[in-house]
Amino acid sequence: MELLTGISNLLVPMLIFYIVGYGLVSKVKVYESFLKGAGEGIKVAVEMVPTLIGLLVAVGVLRASGFLDFLSSLFGQFMEPLGIPSPVVPLILLKLFSGSAATGLTLDLFRTYGPDSSIGIMASILMSCSETIFYTISVYFLAAKVTKTRFTLQGALFTVIADIVLSVWITGMMG
């Protein structure tokens, strides 16, 4: 275990030195390139703010209104036989839109059921292996000015379904 800790402590500095070294060998002005990229990153962040605010407000309204609890009770009856506890249903739905709101919901699940419970374990697996699809599509594609998403949504939804199936399977193996 100490070996892995040592490797992980060295990995980031080694990566930075590699990138700078490669840039120097390639005769790239590394610092100027860094500054240019940082400036572009700030511009992208500023362009993303309205979309982020809209998503966070919408998620806050859904949580405060009790709509997520309603969805949990509505879909929970169909999901329970598939091995998905009803308290996890809002997490699955919320994770599609907002990672921070899903994190807050996960912490609520931990407080209520415990992190080592089957619900806590399933929530942990879902949080670690799924992406905020609609957030990613709206924010990053907007920032990159992508207009033709092709099969992005279908592929992303397929991976979420695979994540759900695997989380049910892994949680069942552990419990």
* Residue 127 and residue 96 in contact, taking contact as beta carbons nearer than 8 Å: no
Contacts of range 168-172, beta carbons closer than 8 Å, 24 or more positions apart: 168/82, 168/83, 168/84, 168/122, 170/121, 170/125, 171/83, 171/118, 171/121, 171/122, 171/125, 172/83
Q: What's the confidence (pLDDT) of residue 1?
A: 67
Distance of CA 17 to the CA centre of its chain: 29
- Residue 108 corresponds to which tokens in the numbers above? 């609520």
Question: Which range marks the domain in which residue 168 is found?
Answer: 41-174
Q: What percent of the chain has pLDDT over 90?
A: 25
Instruction: With respect to residue 167, please indicate whether it lies within any of the assigned structural domains.
Output: yes
Q: Quick check: helix, strand or coil at residue 98?
A: coil
Instruction: With respect to residue 3, please indicate whether it lies within any of the assigned structural domains.
Output: no
Run of H or E including 76: helix 67-79
Number of domains present in the structure of the chain: 1
- Residue 134 corresponds to which tokens in the numbers above? 């609609």
Query: Across the chain, what does the average pLDDT equal?
Result: 85
Q: What's the confidence (pLDDT) of residue 113?
A: 94
Buried b (16+ CB within 10 A) or exposed e, 17-30: eeeeeeeeeeeeee
Dump pLDDT digits (tens) for 63-118.
Answer: 789 887 888 888 888 888 888 888 898 888 888 887 877 888 888 899 999 999 99
pTM over 0.75: no
Q: What's the confidence (pLDDT) of residue 120?
A: 93
Dump pLDDT digits (tens) for 37-48.
Answer: 999 989 888 887
Q: Quick check: helix, strand or coil at residue 55?
A: helix
- Residue 97 corresponds to which tokens in the numbers above? 């839109």
Dihedral over Cα of 122, 127, 131, 136: its sign = positive
Instruction: With respect to residue 83, please indicate whether it lies within any of the assigned structural domains.
Output: yes
